[in-house]
């Protein structure tokens, strides 16, 4: 794989995202996450998966340059649906998947992390969904998963302001489970994963299945609506302005059209 490497240690597959400079979430990377799940699903040597980023970030967002290659709203909706499918598989995967988040998990990067069963964070990490700053909305399940963790009002604030929260705040709001010093994050996450790896794989898989029943049917309705809305906003003049402003490193001037 081009962007993901992994090794197995005491029953834990330690997977590393490596797509410099910011580990931006491209279509190729999303596909490699799916390939990783294919690789470890029936591997008895792997009982838990840890996902973390190489370099300065976990993943600082989607690959915005790829958005300029999308021709219309229908294609944008399909792009969202493809990502949603992989992240839904991640969330229902039969082996625990833990995200170790340092630096930043923004936009699609946070949506990837929210698809994991558990998130551990560096205290100074930044987590957020800044898509509205681009005249867009989250498209990989973010509008549906974030409120489940932080509540509707806090999710609304994070979406409407585009401002991230820190790793410590993420723990306080329920978006993450524990916060560590950045230099200890991966080591601490792997240590927890190794404890999980000692459990019965059969029991772990059934526990994951049972936790899935806590997800209401309306979640899937919301996911479908999110993909459609993702395509709808893409064709707006505001979206074009937001994407261009991002690429030109300037503030966008939205007109409501």
Separation between Cα atoms, residue 202 and residue 123, nearest integer Å = 34
Active site residue 111: yes
**Which position has the token pair 């240590």?**
191
Q: Which two tokens stand for residue 86?
A: 């992989």
8 A C-beta contact, residue 155 and residue 147:
yes
Active site residue 168: no
Active-site residue, selected from the candidate residues 131, 188, 226, 237: 131
Q: Which two tokens stand for residue 70?
A: 């999308």
Q: Which of 188, 129, 196, 136 is nearest to 159 (CA)?
A: 129
Separation between Cα atoms, residue 169 and residue 174, nearest integer Å = 9
Separation between Cα atoms, residue 189 and residue 177, nearest integer Å = 11
Torsion of CA 194, 197, 203, 209, to 10 degrees: 80
Active-site residue, selected from the candidate residues 32, 81, 91, 111: 111
What is the DSSP secondary structure assignment for residue 133, as one 8-state letter?
Answer: G
Residues annotated as catalytic are 111, 131
């Amino acid at each position: 794989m081009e962007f993901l490497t992994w090794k197995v240690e005491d029953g834990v597959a330690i997977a590393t995202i490596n797509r410099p400079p910011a580990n931006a979430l491209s279509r190729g990377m999303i596909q490699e996450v799916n390939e990783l799940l294919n690789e470890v699903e029936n591997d008895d040597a792997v009982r838990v998966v840890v996902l973390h980023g190489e370099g300065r970030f976990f993943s600082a967002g989607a690959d915005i340059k790829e958005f300029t290659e999308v021709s219309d709203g229908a294609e944008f909706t399909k792009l969202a649906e493809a990502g949603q499918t992989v992240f839904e598989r991640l969330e229902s995967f039969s082996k625990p998947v833990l995200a170790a988040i340092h630096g930043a998990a923004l936009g699609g990067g946070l949506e990837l992390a929210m698809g994991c069963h558990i998130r551990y964070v560096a205290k100074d990490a930044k987590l957020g969904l800044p898509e509205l700053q681009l005249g867009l909305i989250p498209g990989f399940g973010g509008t549906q998963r974030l409120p489940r963790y932080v509540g509707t009002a806090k999710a609304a604030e994070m979406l409407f302001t585009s401002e991230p929260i820190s790793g410590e705040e993420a723990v306080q709001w329920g978006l993450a489970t524990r916060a560590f010093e950045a230099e200890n994050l991966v080591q601490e996450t792997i240590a927890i994963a190794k404890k999980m790896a000692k459990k019965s794989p059969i029991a772990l898989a059934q526990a994951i299945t049972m936790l899935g029943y806590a997800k209401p049917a309306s979640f899937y309705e919301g996911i479908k609506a999110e993909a459609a809305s993702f395509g709808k906003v893409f064709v707006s003049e505001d979206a074009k302005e937001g994407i261009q402003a991002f690429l030109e490193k300037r503030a966008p001037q939205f007109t409501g059209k």
